[in-house]
Amino acid sequence: MRLPKSKAPLPDEIPSMAIRVMPWKCLVVLTRLFNSILRTGHFKEAWTLGKFIVLPKPSKDRHRPSSYHPITLLSHVAKLFERLLLRKIVPHLPLRVKQFGFCSEHSTTLQLTRVLNLLACEINRGRCTVGIFLDIEKAFDRVSHEGLVAKLLKTSLPQAIVRLLASFLANRQFFVAVENAESGIRSIKAGVPQGSCLSPRLYAAYTDEIPKLNESLQEWKEDIELALYVISTGTPQHLPSRTTVLAYTSMA
């Protein structure tokens, strides 16, 4: 299984290379640990600690906090387990057909081609198209843990896996590292962990209740595009109401 190649110091100080060269006896112990977690539904609390670093954005004012890109470093051992867990949850959390983010063999280019094709088809029918492009700010960070677990309980996921995912989200902590300085540890009350392979699929499940409108609704990760087709060139009366529905759903 593919492992991250990051050489940055992690919270547990276990580099990915140590896992790659792990002797057989250690692999047996690790396998038993993973099976124990799946059986008990308890995610290791030591794995919930994230190391938060920031990278400067190019050509931005270094004195402004918004000029830095945040990155969360997580345990490589935890990431290995999460990849195994992802294989178990994917069959139970299918993505929408029109969801192009978090999908293998899908890309921004493919989504753009789809949207342009929709525009061309409506032009050929003599209809105008009004597009609304929404970017959900800090999408992953705004996910309610209680709300996500409640939605997972409505899926076909086994309750043991839902219980494990609830443990995965609970008691999340982080600390900030800047050069040689580190902050104290703080708790995370909401959001799915940045850097975890489980987070995109969990976020997709969290937003899956966005209404299936008659109009065309395209999705790309935390961005949503709503296309309304109208016969006249006037502003569609349904535009404000549809936007309100999407805004309300994204906050649920």
3-state secondary structure of 238: helix
Other C-beta atoms lying within 10 Å of the C-beta of residue 168: 27
pTM of the model: 0.73
Task: Encode pLDDT of 87-111 as tens digits.
Answer: 999 899 877 655 655 556 556 777 7
Are 186 and 173 within 8 A, CB to CB? yes
237 CB-contact burial (10 Å; exposed 0-12 / middle 13-18 / buried 19+):
exposed
By C-alpha distance, which of 228, 8, 5 is closest to 131? 228
Q: Give CA separation, 193 vs 4, 114, 127, 140, in Å.
A: 16, 30, 43, 8
Please measure the distance between the N-terminal and C-terminal CA atoms of the chain and give it in whole angstroms.
36
Beta-strand pair 186-188/216-220: unpaired
Task: Encode pLDDT of 188-244 as tens digits.
Answer: 999 999 888 899 889 888 887 665 544 444 444 444 444 444 444 444 555 544 444
